[in-house]
Amino acid sequence: VGVVLAALYLLWAYQRVFHGEPDEANSSFKEINAKEGMLMAVFVAVILVTGIYPKPMLERIEPSVNSFIEHVEGQTK
């Protein structure tokens, strides 16, 4: 029952937020400009590349993670 109610609430909230008319306080917001759009595109690209191919990032942090694990395991023994 809880899952169904949560799904209904989320659908209702989604409809109000993304498909409803803006409030008076929010109706004066400007659309993003080209500079903001490019910055957002860079962030999205980094997120997608990291999600699709995380190996370079994981290889970079592996030595410090292994050192941390050895440190923690040494304290628990």
Q: Are the C-beta atoms of residues 41 and 48 closer than 8 Å to each other?
A: no
How many structural domains comprise the chain? 1
18 within a domain of the structure (yes/no): no
**Domain ranges, residue 77:** 37-77
- pTM, to two decimals: 0.54
Distance from C-alpha of 51 to C-alpha of 49, rounded to nearest angstrom: 5
Residue tagged 């292994």 (tokens): 66
Residue 34 pLDDT class (50, 70, 90 cuts): very high
67 within a domain of the structure (yes/no): yes
Residue 77 pLDDT class (50, 70, 90 cuts): low
**Euclidean distance between the first and the last CA atom of the chain, given in angstroms as a whole number:** 46
46 within a domain of the structure (yes/no): yes
